[in-house]
Amino acid sequence: MLDSIVFVFENMPLLLKGALVAVEITVLSILLGMVVGLLVAILRLYGPKPIQKFMKLYEWVLRGLPILVILFIIYFGLPSVGLNIPAFISAVLGLGLRSSAYQAQIYRGAIQSIGVEQVEAGLSIGMNRTKTMLYVIVPQAIRLSLPGFTNEFTIVLKDSPLAYALGIAELLKQGRNIIVTSFKPFTIYLTCAIIYFLLFHFFYYLFRKIAEKYEVPGYIMSKKS
Amino acid sequence: MNKTLLKVGIVVVSLFLVFSLFSCGQKEKKVLKVGTNAEYPPFEFKENDQFKGIDMELAQLIADKLNMELKIHDMDFDSLIPALNANKVDVAMAAITITEDRKEQVAFSIPYYSVDQAIIAPEGTDIEINEEGDLTEYTIGAQNGTTGQIYIDKNYVSENKMKKNQLKKYPTNIEAITDMLNGNIDLVILDTSAAKGYKEMKPISTVYTIKTGEKYGVAMPKNSPLKEKIDTALKEILKSDQWTNILNKYIK
């Protein structure tokens, strides 16, 4: 038992280095997913008809593919059409675009949940449509989408080990490298699990605090849930 | 005031992120990108975040001879040949056996090491393999894509001498050996050189050796401009004391 604890601490720097890579991949993917997702959500709601249809298709296809397949297509498939993307960027693109499909749904749901009356109210006091969107709808929508966003963030975090398949030295891969020379799968996988869980816990708590701070008063009651 | 700060902050952060993405893609001149699967001691593994093993030291020697900078890309063994064909790496060195099937997809250097297939069992086992045919009575594990797995598949499973579920495939030998020691399978087939390495770590013993006389080679894309240079470098290295020293260091 004591041996195992000493062993884990000896290897901790490597595992933490891997954990940092996992967080990097997650944060970059989520940001990419956020930018693309917001765009998709807005275009799907307010874009011209053909674009709306296309955005629906985009969400539908990306939601229907296993993430590993997406990653392999980007990393191993695209070079045959002349697009050779490094592993780290491939992982961020794959996880980010997949997340954008889910985030688009979160944002669309949030925008739609704000009543038409508010748009009418905005227009009635002389704001145009863009201004109404920008100053009335979007600020509320962002706050409403925080709980869903938190969930999506933790999902991407937990999918980040798949980057291992592209040879990226994130937490799980570092763990496996240690197992190869030490042959202690249980100790190392358990340590990886604990680190992933602590990361999950940290980010979940952080976003929950933010969500509570910025909740729309009288709209949702996250504190009691 | 606050809003302006926020806007500036957002611009700075997004610029930083964009540039950090670009910097990942920067390429330096004259880099020899070597793909490997660092989960295969004593040929390739990682210790304290450093690549070690026979193949890794050989890669360094080849890079020195070619006057190139060595960069190692660690990936799944299954992914090595796709990575070569997708030009992700220049060569692959991962105890790769030269086979006819693989030659259809990639080119190989001259051979640099020769092995057979070892059948291992937990130490103190009562399993006795007197001839190869005895294997059909047991369940065997193997690392997916290795010559051991292909050998059993071709000669036993495809010939209906073994049932499909008698051959279990794992991502690496580690899982295969762990599963065997946990009692889920009877035997594991792997290269003799790797079996030697694992014997120092785990209570296993070799119960049978299949003389396949396989040869390891450096894999590269077909028509690779490096083929001749690497062959020349290898010929020099294989004759040198450095090579003997490397072998003695990792295989006793």
The pairing of strands B50-52 and B91-92 is: unpaired
Write down the mean pLDDT value for chain B.
89
pLDDT tens readout for residues B76-114:
888 899 999 988 999 999 999 999 999 999 999 999 999
Inter-chain residue contact A180 with B25, CB threshold 8 Å: no
User: Which amino acid, A144?
Assistant: L
A80 touches chain B (CB under 8 A): yes
Asked if A90 and A74 touch (Cβ cutoff 8 Å), the reply is yes
Q: Which pLDDT score is estimated for A225?
A: 44
The whole-number average pLDDT for the span A189-218 is: 90
pLDDT at B15 over 80: no
Domain containing A130 equals 2-224
pLDDT at A220 over 80: no
If contacts are CB pairs under 8 Å, which of residues 82-121 in chain A contact chain B?
Answer: 84-89, 92
Question: Using alpha carbons only, what angle is made at residue A218 by residues A216 and A224, rounded to the nearest 5 degrees?
Answer: 95
Inter-chain residue contact A165 with B82, CB threshold 8 Å: no
Q: Which residue of A31, A92, A180 is in closest CB contact with B174?
A: A180
Pick the CATH number of B115-215 from 3.30.365.10, 3.40.50.300, 3.40.190.10, 3.10.180.10: 3.40.190.10
B40 touches chain A (CB under 8 A): yes
pLDDT at B200 over 90: no
Mutate to test the interface with B, among A35, A178, A183, A189 (most CBs of B within 10 A): A183
Q: Which residue of A31, A80, A169 is in closest CB contact with B86?
A: A80
Exposure class string for A183-204: b at 16+ Cβ within 10 A, else e = bbeebbeebbeebbeebeeebe
pLDDT at B39 over 90: no
Kindly give, in sequence order, each residue whose CB lies less than 8 Å from that of residue A89, ignoring residues fewer than 6 positions away: B21, B24, B25
B1 touches chain A (CB under 8 A): no
B199 touches chain A (CB under 8 A): no
Residue B18: pLDDT band (50, 70, 90) is: low
Query: Considering only A11-15, B196-200, B236-240, which range has the smallest mean pLDDT?
Result: B196-200
Asked if B33 and B90 touch (Cβ cutoff 8 Å), the reply is yes
Inter-chain residue contact B202 with A92, CB threshold 8 Å: no
Confirm whether the ipTM is greater than 0.85. Answer: no
DSSP characters for chain B?
Answer: -HHHHHHHHHHHHHHHHHHHHHHHT---SSEEEEEE-SEETTTEEEETTEEESHHHHHHHHHHHHTT-EEEEEE--GGGHHHHHHTTS-SEE-SS-B--HHHHTTSEE-S--EEEEEEEEEETT-----SSGGGGGGS-EEEETTSHHHHHHIIIIITTTSS-GGGEEEESSHHHHHHHHHTTS-SEEEEEHHHHHHHHTTSSEEEEEEEEEEEEE--EE-TT-TTHHHHHHHHHHHHHSHHHHHHHHHH--
pLDDT at A223 over 80: no
pLDDT at B1 over 70: no
The whole-number average pLDDT for the span B124-143 is: 92
Q: Which pLDDT score is estimated for B6?
A: 66
DSSP 3-state percent helix, strand, coil across chain A (nearest 5): 85, 0, 15
pLDDT tens readout for residues B56-73:
999 999 999 999 999 999
Fold match flag (B29-112+217-250 vs B115-215): yes
Domain B29-112+217-250, CATH class in plain words? alpha beta
Q: Which pLDDT score is estimated for A151?
A: 94
Number of domains in chain A: 1
The whole-number average pLDDT for the span B17-42 is: 73
Delimit the domains of chain B by residue range. 29-112+217-250, 115-215
The whole-number average pLDDT for the span B19-41 is: 73
Cα–Cα nearest to B233, from B44, B86, B32, B95: B32
A77 CA: distance to closest CA in chain B (Å): 8
A183 touches chain B (CB under 8 A): yes
pLDDT at B171 over 70: yes
The whole-number average pLDDT for the span A188-207 is: 95
What does the alpha-carbon distance between residue A47 and residue A63 come to, in Å, rounded to a whole number?
21
pLDDT at A224 over 50: no
CATH number at residue A150: 1.10.3720.10
Counted across chains A and B, CB pairs separated by less than 8 A come out at: 71
A14 touches chain B (CB under 8 A): yes
Inter-chain residue contact B21 with A28, CB threshold 8 Å: yes
Q: Scanning every residue of chain A, which has its alpha carbon at the shortest distance from the alpha carbon of B89?
A: A86
Residues of B in contact with A34 (CB under 8 A): none
Q: Scanning every residue of chain A, which has its alpha carbon at the shortest distance from the alpha carbon of B82?
A: A76
What does the alpha-carbon distance between residue B34 and residue B219 come to, in Å, rounded to a whole number?
10
Q: Which residue of B76, B79, B86 is in closest CB contact with A79?
A: B86
Kindly give, in sequence order, each residue whose CB lies less than 8 Å from that of residue A183, ignoring residues fewer than 6 positions away: B174, B178, B201, B202
A185 touches chain B (CB under 8 A): yes
Query: Considering only A110-114, A165-169, B137-141, which range has the smallest mean pLDDT?
Result: A165-169
